[in-house]
């Protein structure tokens, strides 16, 4: 299945961007009459036929539309402090999209070593991962949000903070609820500060552990993402 990301599609006819046109005609060597598929990032899957295999403006005609394609049966939100090495965050975004994540927020914490972010670069990686894994939805990516501002707007009954202090003894499975959204907060390399942890508790956010191993930030974030997916599969089967 040859997938192209077309967030602005709105009619029966569509012209691919120059970049996507080159990929379609030069890399994939598709020609007039060939079938391609378009995704808008919000669940729309369009079947289209190439009308003009122009290398700069490849023209398509939509012949079918499917809604809610690849819709996740659960909502997972990972709020993570970006690492100093941005490559590690790019890796996390790519893999989280492949696994299935609904939303990612980047946190600005007291111990954060990175205080700027190239969200456009991360969005491109998310789009590529969405296409590669044949997902129909592009996860929401939120720019850096100060820790205290994030917890003030969080839903405490569905938000959890993963940290390294001794009182984080229960895993997310103890709180998991089928068909409910879940958000797990992951701190920077130096972990959340004591003041941040106490502020989260005061806001009603509960602590969770991701296991006995001391994980890197991006690994912890991916473990949290995958754990939510596995728990959904297990508990929805028992429901």
pLDDT tens-place string over residues 33-90: 999 999 999 999 999 999 999 999 999 999 999 999 989 989 999 999 999 999 999 9
Which pLDDT score is estimated for 5?
94
Domain count, the chain: 2
Looking at the fold, whether 110 and 216 belong to one and the same domain comes out as yes
Q: In what order do the strands lie in the sheet with 45-52?
A: 3-5, 35-39, 45-52, 59-66, 13-15
Q: 13 is in which domain, residue-wise?
A: 3-66
Looking at the fold, whether 7 and 34 belong to one and the same domain comes out as yes
Task: Indicate if the pLDDT at residue 138 is higher than 70.
Answer: yes
For 231, residues 6+ apart whose C-beta sits below 8 A from its C-beta are 172, 173, 176
Phi, psi of 34 (to 5 degrees): -75, 150
Domain boundary among 21, 36, 66: 66
Looking at the fold, whether 173 and 221 belong to one and the same domain comes out as yes
**Would you state the structure tokens that stand for residue 196, as one six-digit string?**
């941040």
188 in helix, strand or coil? coil
CB atoms within 10 A of CB 174: 11
Average pLDDT across the chain, whole number: 95
Quote the pTM value: 0.93
Domain boundary among 66, 92, 113: 66
Which pLDDT score is estimated for 166?
85
Looking at the fold, whether 47 and 98 belong to one and the same domain comes out as no
- 140-199 tens-digit pLDDT: 999 999 999 999 999 999 999 999 888 889 999 999 998 899 999 999 998 999 999 999
Q: Give the integer Cα–Cα distance in Å for 104 and 145.
A: 11
Looking at the fold, whether 228 and 135 belong to one and the same domain comes out as yes
Looking at the fold, whether 58 and 81 belong to one and the same domain comes out as no
């Amino acid at each position: 299945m040859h997938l192209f990301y077309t967030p602005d599609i709105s009619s029966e006819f569509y012209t691919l961007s120059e970049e996507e046109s080159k990929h379609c005609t030069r890399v994939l060597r598709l020609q007039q009459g060939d079938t391609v598929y378009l995704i808008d990032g919000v669940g729309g899957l369009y079947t289209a036929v190439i009308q003009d295999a122009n290398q700069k403006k490849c023209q398509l005609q939509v012949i079918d539309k499917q809604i809610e394609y690849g819709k996740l049966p659960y909502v997972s939100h990972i709020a993570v402090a970006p690492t100093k090495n941005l490559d590690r965050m790019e890796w996390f975004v790519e893999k989280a999209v492949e696994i299935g994540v609904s939303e990612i927020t980047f946190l600005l914490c007291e111990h954060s070593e990175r205080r700027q972010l190239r969200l456009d670069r991360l969005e491109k990686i998310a789009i590529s991962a969405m296409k590669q894994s044949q997902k129909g939805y592009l996860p929401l990516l939120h720019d850096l949000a100060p820790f205290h501002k994030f917890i003030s707007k969080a839903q405490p009954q569905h938000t959890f903070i993963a940290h390294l202090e001794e009182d984080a003894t229960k895993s997310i499975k103890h709180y998991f609820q089928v068909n409910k959204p879940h958000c797990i907060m992951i701190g920077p390399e130096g972990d959340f500060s004591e003041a941040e942890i106490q502020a989260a508790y005061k806001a009603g956010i509960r602590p969770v552990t991701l296991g006995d191993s001391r994980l890197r930030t991006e690994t912890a974030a991916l473990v949290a993402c995958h754990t939510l997916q596995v728990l959904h599969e297990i508990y929805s089967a028992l429901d």
